[in-house]
Amino acid sequence: MAPRPHDDRAGGEAPLPGALPAPAAARLVLEPLRLEHAGELAPLLADPALHAFTGGAPDPPDALRARVARQVAGRSPDGRDVWCNWVLRDGADAVGTVQATIRPDRVAEVAWVIFTPFQGRGHARAAAVALVDWLLAGPADTVVAHIHPEHAASAAVARAAGLRPTDERHAGEVRWRRDRGDVPAAP
């Protein structure tokens, strides 16, 4: 079981990552990441097209399994950050992943990846909206995402989740942000 993010406002602990509500799209399910997902995800994450905006190259299977093992631990090595990772499913198909790193200052950094064969179907939007809303209703006061300035599809997803671009840059990417209480603009 993954450690729970602490929620001082409520005087208790926030829900486990598995408690994330299903996205608005009826068939989508966010399934907490488990080590056994590594084999299923490896061929989908091996697509070089997924790295067009993020750079790098796909992890070899052993490196991917090690990364998944670190992620399912639920916390950063120093124990400060809570790591929440889900496999996004449409029916039985793994169509992508979403993740949130929740820092002690209640800032959550989010990311999403939709596997190439499943892009353009609204999966990222549905998952990002559900994730950001869940975070701001519980363990986070601010949600940020880092998006390549030329990645229009990811910018559209961030906008749909109520994030707005800032003037800040991180590793060449635009920092998008939404704070608790911000009212998302209509899509």
Residue 12 lies in a domain: no
Bridge partners (DSSP) of residue 170 are 173
Residues in Cβ contact with 76 at an 8 Å cutoff, skipping those fewer than 6 apart: 83, 101
Bridge partners (DSSP) of residue 74 are none
Q: What is the CATH number of the domain that holds 72?
A: 3.40.630.30
Q: What is the DSSP letter of 64?
A: H
- Which residues constitute the domain of residue 43? 19-179
Q: Is 55 helix (H, G, I), strand (E, B) or coil?
A: coil
Residues in Cβ contact with 82 at an 8 Å cutoff, skipping those fewer than 6 apart: 2, 3, 4, 5, 74, 75, 101, 102, 139
Residue 123 lies in a domain: yes
Helix (H) or strand (E) holding 175: strand 173-179
* Residue 142: pLDDT over 70: yes
- For the stretch 42-76, pLDDT in tens is 999 999 999 888 888 888 888 999 999 999 999 99
Number of domain units in the chain: 1
- For the stretch 122-140, pLDDT in tens is 999 999 999 999 999 999 9
Residue 80 lies in a domain: yes
Distance, CA of 184 to chain centre: 18
First to last CA, the chain: 36
Residue 74 lies in a domain: yes
pLDDT the model gives residue 56: 83
CA separation for the pair 20, 120 (Å, rounded): 23
Residue 162: both structure tokens together:
């109520």
Residue 10 lies in a domain: no
- For the stretch 35-44, pLDDT in tens is 999 999 999 9
CA distances for 38 relative to 30, 60, 63, 67, angstroms: 16, 11, 10, 9
CA separation for the pair 53, 173 (Å, rounded): 10
